[in-house]
Amino acid sequence: MLQRFFRKYDTTDIVMWLIGAALAVIVIYGAARTLAVGKYSSDVWRDFIIFGLAQGSVYALIALGYTLVYGILFMINFAHGEVFTGGVFTAYFVAVALANSGFSDEHWILSLLILLAVAVVVSMSVAVLLERIAYRPLRNAPRLVPLITAIGASFFLQYTYRGLYGSGVKTYPDIKQLSGTWVFFGIRILRTQAVVIVASVVLMVGLYIYVQRTKAGKAMRAVAEDKEAAALMGIDVDRVIVNTFALGGALAGAAGILYAMLFKQVNAFMGFIPGIKAFTAAVLGGIGNVPGAMLGGLFLGIVESLGPSLVLDGLGIRSPYQLKDAIAFLMLVLVLIFRPTGILGERLSEKKA
Amino acid sequence: MKEESPFTYRDALQFGLIAGILVIFISLVGMVVAFNERYIVAQTITLGQIIVFLPPLTLGYYGARRAKGRQGSKGLLMSLLLGLVAGAVVAGFVILGTSVNLRTVFINAAPKLFDVLTFGRESAAAAALWAIAGGGLLAVLGGVFTLLSSWLRRALVMAITSVVLIGILQELLNITFGSRNWFKPVNEFFFEQKGLSWTGAIVIFVVTVLISVWRTFYGDRPAKAMSRMSPQSQRSIQIGSLVLGGIILLLVPRFLGPYPSEILTTVGIYIIMGLGLNIVVGYAGLLDLGYVAFFAIGAYTMGILTTVGKLSTMEWSFWLALPAAVLLALMAGIILGIPVLKMRGDYLAIVTLGFGEIIRIVVLSDWLKPSIGGAQGILQIPKAHIGGYEFKGPEQVYYLVLFGIALVAFVAWRLRDARLGRAWKAVREDEDVAEAMGIHLVNTKLMAFATGAAFAGLSGAIFAAKLGSIFPHSFNLIVSINVLSLIIVGGIGSLPGVVAGAFILVGMPELLREFADYRMLMYGALLVVMMLVKPEGFVPEATHQREFHEDEEEIEADSLAAETS
């Protein structure tokens, strides 16, 4: 019996199970202690969850860029976080100009749409240029080569933004009409968070329809399925790839504006952490899987928002919020180790190897 | 493939546009103004101006070279065209920048920038005309290079490069040798207050041209002379040069003084790390982006065990703590290695990055502050010493680093062709085939992680003892990226490549403070360009060289076969 067990699973598997079990115990213990002490009221928990949903929907939008590109090229576009930065950082200057001229006070929806358009166009251009200059020539190179290129591009873009726009932290102007709260079905929600959640749901539904129903979306899915066959069917693969990068970039640009509404502050290096988190979200949902990325983003957002107060506080760790990012990274590591195919399963897992 | 297509007027326009945009790019990120402070030739030309000239010059050269293949003498015309386009783009930028205030968005679009770009001309129209003419002239100059025979071209490029390099190094030479007696007349001959003197520049130029020409035509003479000698004398010459090299290495700090020694120790610490990461990435093909974690573990172990400050625990001596640091890093390598064993390529990179970030965030947080100092780090780490000799300043730490490099390089060199090294390379090429050949994947991969981590631990320990205090900010992702960049630039898997890469990527920015701001920008660009143009690095390892140029060899082989049949 024991022998058969050991023949089936090697030592590393067992070590991994032990690690997993230990982590589960720690998490449950921490959560139980926090809840037992009753430090936070149920209202506070609800606010945590709503904030988690809001930031999670931003992650989801960025994650879609990773997933779309991975689905087609099987590469991690490491510089996607910087695509996101490009849009929101550039749009900052437009936002300031609009605020100074008083335009955004009168027509806040229109000015938001203008910002959105600017961010989308800039992020899209960055993504397309990136593909054209850095990735296209390497499409048939050994696998590590495009990844290293992507890392290089990521740092290049970060420091380009710093060089162009300066290294300081810049703060988006407030929108008067969006301060305060709205009440939906008896739940009080910060207006910015509500707008963020609604906007990202609209965008995600739009993307889903685009991928599933339009001809371009169909071409995209065909290329993801099999590049050669798609090319034989008369699909311009290069063009589909450019489309994919543009689409991912556009979503990242939109995510940037939503991020700016939530967190206000922008700087040249802001895209790195959300980028990694969004990648985590994409992997959580099964990379290459569009609905998966959406769910993964929301899930990660909530875990990150609840984690410090729910688990770490219960474990008696001092200033748990400092470890907020560590939770996201830990999730990343755990998912990649224990379930690299993600929650919903990787749509294209059999082709990955 | 691309080289085959004929070079059309559209290509020329495109090249010109690219050159112009490049000039605008380096202007707006601030490089032009920052580099403009440094005169290469006194009162004549600055480094900032040189980098403005570079895009039209090089693209003019490439344009002409591509046009030449098919269309004969059209090359120069194409160069002229693309240069004019580039100039026009820059001219447009100058007119825009001088009439509209771009500064609210682009912080570097200051009047100073346009002073540089217009070369001090007052009216924008004149400056624009000059820019267009200058662009055309430079590109044609680049095009002319294609007409020269290759030895002359090489000599001229070498000569210009060495003038620029020596011009850049002026300050360092002053700091290093300023107090020596012999330096004063040399200095006065070659340099003025800022930059090379005209005579100095010309002498350097001519001497380099002569050396280069001599090397082209008679460069194989020493090797030939040596091959004529008996094996014994060949061997004794080899040993002699090794001993001589060793003695020079030992005397370097005494000769150069503290500032260059400081730079050399920093480069050395990166060499140790590079040799370690080279085992993980270069030999075993496991892309590890969390490598800095092991460096941090080494440094923190050293810090905690030896510090005599607030956090003091054991107050061990450096030599007692050193094996502990290496061992702990090695164990961390194995522990972090186990979970990622089954991962390949990009997933592995991201997970290791995650590990590195987790460690950094945890170290930085208040959670472990009582034991490892949080953001305040660990202070008062004593210097290493043997008997009465203290490794105090950079001139002494240099020997410590040199010892570390010697140790690590020896291990890496011996492992490379040992059974383990060959197993690593097999795993790098194809895991499944390697496993089928009887290589134990788990052990082999864990050995790679462990060895790499141990090297990083050693490096970190020396780093801690060198600085005397450590802070979490010294251990961020940038360090991992730096190390990765240097092994890629040097050549993945190549030991001399690591040394060369460290000198280029770590040494140069340390020498030039104005480079420091643009360091990461250039690293990023360098990573991309290297992957696109020269993925095997500057000092390539033999197998990689073959791997990346497979097609060319095949083509050569085919044409050879065709010729012989």
- The pLDDT tens digits for B195-254 are 888 888 888 889 998 988 888 888 777 778 877 888 888 888 888 988 998 888 888 877
In degrees rounded to 5, what are phi and psi of residue A187? -105, 130
Burial of A12 (0-12, 13-18, 19+ CB in 10 A): middle
Q: Do A142 and B547 touch (CB under 8 A)?
A: yes
| Tokens read off for B248 | 């020079």
Cβ contact B375:B472 at 8 Å: yes
CB within 8 Å: B535 and A145:
yes
> Any chain B CB within 8 A of the CB of A93?
yes
CA distances B257 to A170, B176, B396, Å, are 44, 6, 11
Looking at CA atoms only, how far is residue B437 from chain A in angstroms?
Answer: 20
The predicted pLDDT at position B448 comes to 92
Contacts of B489 in chain A (CB under 8 A): none
- Highest mean pLDDT (candidates B27-41, B111-125, B437-451): B437-451
Please give the pLDDT value at position A351.
Answer: 43
Mutate to test the interface with B, among A69, A156, A317, A341 (most CBs of B within 10 A): A156
**Per-residue pLDDT reduced to its tens digit, B350-377:** 888 888 888 888 888 777 777 777 777 8
- Choice between B345 and B430, residue whose per-residue pLDDT is larger: B430
CA–CA gap between residue B163 and residue B167 (Å, rounded): 6
- ipTM surpassing 0.95: no
3-state secondary structure chain A: CHHHHHHHCCHHHHHHHHHHHHHHHHHHHHHHHHHHHCCCCHHHHHHHHHHHHHHHHHHHHHHHHHHHHHHHHCCCCCCHHHHHHHHHHHHHHHHHHHHHCCHHHHCHHHHHHHHHHHHHHHHHHHHHHHHHHHHHHHCCCCCHHHHHHHHHHHHHHHHHHHHHHCCCCEECCCCHHHCCEEEECCEEEEHHHHHHHHHHHHHHHHHHHHHHHCHHHHHHHHHHHCHHHHHHCCCCHHHHHHHHHHHHHHHHHHHHHHHHHHHCEECCCCCHHHHHHHHHHHHHCCCCCHHHHHHHHHHHHHHHHHHHHHHHCCCCCCCHHHHHHHHHHHHHHHHHHHCCCCCCCCCCHHHHC
CB-closest option in A149, A160, A318 to B527: A149
Per-residue model confidence (pLDDT) at position A353? 36
A263 at interface of B, judged by CB pairs closer than 8 A: no
Nearest to A118 by CA among B105, B20, B22, B24: B105
Residue spans per domain, chain A: 1-35, 47-313+322-352
The count of CB pairs under 8 A between chains A and B is 159
Is the pLDDT at B122 greater than 90? The verdict is no
Distance CA B82, CA B66 (A): 13
CB–CB of B527 and A163 under 8 A? no
What residues of A are in contact with residue B342 (Cβ under 8 Å)?
A: 12
Q: What confidence tens digit (pLDDT) does each residue in B501-523 have?
A: 898 888 887 777 677 778 888 88
Q: Which residue of A has its CA nearest to B337?
A: A12
Instruction: Round the average pLDDT of chain B to a whole number and report it.
Output: 83
CATH fold group of domain A47-313+322-352: ABC transporter involved in vitamin B12 uptake, BtuC (1.10.3470)
Q: Which helix (H) or strand (E) holds B41?
A: strand B39-41
- The pLDDT score that the predictor gives to residue A137 is 87
pLDDT truncated to tens, each residue of chain A (353 aa)? 667 766 777 777 777 788 888 888 888 888 888 887 777 777 788 888 888 988 999 999 999 988 888 888 888 888 999 999 999 999 999 888 888 887 777 788 888 899 999 999 999 999 999 999 888 888 888 777 888 889 889 999 999 998 888 888 888 888 777 777 777 777 777 888 888 888 888 998 898 899 888 998 889 888 888 888 888 988 888 899 999 999 999 999 999 999 988 888 888 888 888 888 898 888 888 887 888 888 899 999 998 888 887 777 777 777 777 778 888 888 888 888 777 777 766 544 444 43
Are A164 and B29 in contact (CB < 8 Å)? yes
Backbone angles phi, psi at B390, to 5 degrees: -100, 135
User: Nearest to residue B295, comparing CAs of B474, B501, B468, B415?
Assistant: B474
Paired with A187 in beta bridges are A184
pTM of the predicted structure, to 2 decimals: 0.86
Distance CA A296, CA A344 (A): 9
- Compute the nearest-CA separation of B45 from chain A (Å): 24
3-state class of B429 per DSSP? helix
Distance of CA A148 to the CA centre of its chain: 21
Q: Please name the residue of chain B whose CA is at the shortest distance from the CA of residue A320.
A: B367
In Å, what is the CA distance from A88 to each residue of B350, B439, B521?
Answer: 25, 50, 20
Query: Which of B442, B462, B501 has its CA nearest to residue B278?
Result: B501
In chain B, where the domains are located: 2-216, 259-476
- A128 close to B327: Cβ distance less than 8 angstroms: no
Task: Provide, as residue numbers in chain B, all residues whose Cβ is less than 8 Å from the Cβ of A157.
Answer: 524
A15 inside 8 A of chain B by CB:
yes
CB-CB neighbors (< 8 A) of B341 in chain A: 12
